[in-house]
Amino acid sequence: MDAVNADIPVRINKKILKKFGVRVKQSMSGRIRVRVKSLERRAEQAGWMKERLRLMKGVRQVETRFATGSVIVVFEEKLISTREILTEIVVQILKPAVHTQPEKSPAHPAAADSCECRSKRSFSSKLFKVGWLSGVMLYSAVRYWVFKLPLVQTPLGLIGIAATVGTMSLVREAVSETLQKERVTVKPFLAFGSISTILMGEPFSALQIIWIYNVAELTEDYVALKSRKAIRDILEVAPANAYVMIDGVEVETAVSDILPDDIVAVHTGEKIPVDGRVVDGEALVDEASINGRSEAVFHGIGDEVWAGTIISQGVLLVKTVKTGEDTYLAHIMKMVENSLNNKAPVEQKADQLASRLLKIGLAATTVTFLLTLDPMRALTVMLVMSCPCATVLAASSAVTAAVANAAKRSILIKGGLYLEKIGEADVYCFDKTGTLTMEQPEIVSITGRVPSISEEAILTMAATAESHNQHPMARAILAEAKARGIVTEPHAVCDFRAGRGVFCTVGGDAVILVGNSRFMDEHEVDISWFAKKETSQLELGHTVVYVAKNGKAKGMLGVANPVRPEAVKVLHALKEDGVARIELVTGDNTEIAESLMAVFPFDDCRADLRPEQKAERVDELRENNAVVMVGDGVNDALALTRADIGVAMGAGGAEVAMEAADIALADSDLEGLMKVRNLSHQTLRVVDQNHYLAVSTDLIGAALGMMGILSPIMAGMIHILHTGGILINSSRLLNWQPSAEPESSKP
């Protein structure tokens, strides 16, 4: 054992390990994997443990995973034993330095989960507060209006104590928020009004203020929590387990425990769990989540692959280069988290109006008292002007109703700020694959070598060869054959060549080849006759697939991801609705991007962009405009967070994009983009109506109070009535039908 720790004697056994939260998860020749509970989400302590274990004689390599508390040690068995390593781990747990608070970095998923738990606890706390406040309100209402008994409004009565406790909680929040934002918001206004009301002997009025405000806050928190949960439910950023080659055998291992230089086996349909280099095998890899390209990319020995991409066809053995938080996917995730955390706070209309009302209310109350020397009149004015619950609800109730309306239409909005902004944005950026086009490719053209070869004959040959292939191109061919009622021929042998094509024997001696030009060249099939037609297909952004039989070319298929049927209409509608600029930002090549310029009303297109470059373009546009970014892949996530509003396509979209976005179209219907824009316009109209109603009734009530016509009790009744009117007006948004057509006028 390290001499440094000789003063801490430890006799290791199962009981000791259990006591200190140490579990051996895997032990084999020269390698041990241990789960240490005290290291979970403690980056500093995990680093300390790693450095101490590295100092031990015989230890070759140490890796720690603070997300799970895992410690992986590779060692020389002749120089050090497993028992000595476990003893050192327990010794380091006993060190005082280890016992500190867990890291709270929001860039890590574990920390994000912790933040979510805190949000839930906050919601539960607010729910409890509203519950007991509602109980006191119900008791008071029944006592006063049902049994006609007077309310005891002394400081030590039930109503007085409830109002005081509720007000003190609001005061703490008001002080904290004012110090953080360095401006007066609605909370100090409410706190001031509540305290003044209690001091003037009207704690029931203060209780009304506190109750209505807390109900409004609880409603907003509930909508935000449900929206966030609905999006998190579909998140699955990376696989939990993978298969590591150990002594020639595939061993299932937690991804968090994979080390650099480990060989990982990845099969068809599986996500690659690490960044690395292919050491054996060949496969088609769907990299749309990283670069947005619709076509799978062929990878063989020596090629670089990334975590989060999917094997469409084939098997790869990948030598691990980067794992966990070091992968390209994790790097993008961290940048996404940083961008999310750095969004600038925006002044809310309710707070701005409340600040103005605060000044007017204080002035009106002071003037009333100086002119009349009547504290009751001054109290009435204070009750009316210093109780802007209706002003608070004017925005929050309308936004809540609008968010609920959108959710019924499979549009998930993460906050009222984003609902407001999307209606004001004047620049829209679109990704291509999965956003403007469908995920699954389709056959768009069939060309025969000679007129005597029909489209059906070419399709029959292609479908026969591809009948057992799971590649997206093969699925497109089979879908077209099925739609035409074509029955495939019996075949004996099919040999798939990843990234090139398929070789199929039919009827014992006939050989069918289906694949790209490279595949045809390998089998010495002359395709020169199709050269011009191939060029025209490529200029349109289509992929070309050749069909040959017995060494002779028979036909050519054009394959493309079709444009979403509603996409062109939606982009034209955005233009008509006042959007000044629409751009295409894509990872696809220039030819494909430019082919879309003839279809869509784009003002510009940027092609061959990596995630960072997309984000940079969004930053450029944001210098003078409010920008909306619409995408669906990991490659879009950073741009989604950099934009003023990020909109993610839900069905089939990348999980990280859904998490990064401010608005998610869960059913991937682009018409939802116009619907939420029109819903934004309508919501702002309703908010303006509510503000007009709230301010006008406040001013009228204050005037009546100054003249002595309105009593404090009547002021409270008017307050409740006009608050109810605002809630009724906002509730109209619940059933409002947003249109996918542009509006003729703006709010």
Catalytically active residues are: 431
Residue 702 to residue 378: CA distance in whole angstroms: 9
**Could you tell me the two tokens for 431?**
């990704």
Beta bridge partners of 271: 310
Residue 208 to residue 713: CA distance in whole angstroms: 12
User: Dihedrals φ, ψ of 565, to 5°?
Assistant: -60, -30
Angle made by CA atoms 523, 524, 529, in degrees to the nearest 5: 120
Residue type, 636: D
CB 108 within 8 A of CB 69: no
Q: In terms of Cα–Cα distance, which of 609, 616, 703 is closest to 293?
A: 609
Residue 96 to residue 99: CA distance in whole angstroms: 6
Residue 289 to residue 536: CA distance in whole angstroms: 28
Q: Going by C-beta distance under 8 Å and a sequence separation of 6 or more, which residues neighbour residue 142?
A: none
Q: In terms of Cα–Cα distance, which of 195, 215, 214, 216 is closest to 205?
A: 195
CA 296 to each of CA 212, 238, 314: distance values in angstroms, whole numbers, following the listed order: 56, 19, 12
Give the single-character DSSP code of 255: G
Residue 600 to residue 432: CA distance in whole angstroms: 11
Tell the burial category of 508 from Cβ atoms under 10 Å away from its Cβ (0-12, 13-18, 19+).
exposed
Residue 477 to residue 481: CA distance in whole angstroms: 6
CB 559 within 8 A of CB 597: no
Q: In terms of Cα–Cα distance, which of 209, 197, 348, 353 is closest to 694?
A: 353
**Could you tell me the two tokens for 330?**
């994790």
Cβ neighbours, 10 Å, residue 200: 18
CB 327 within 8 A of CB 274: yes
Ordered alpha helix ranges (H), 249-372: 288-291, 328-341, 349-372
CB 434 within 8 A of CB 288: yes
Burial 607-637 (b: 16+ CB within 10 A, else e): bebebebbbebbeebeeeebbbbbbbbbbbb
Alpha-carbon dihedral sign for residues 266, 301, 433, 229 = positive
Alpha-carbon torsion, ordered 517, 518, 519, 524, to 10 deg = 90
Block residue for tokens 């907003």: 220
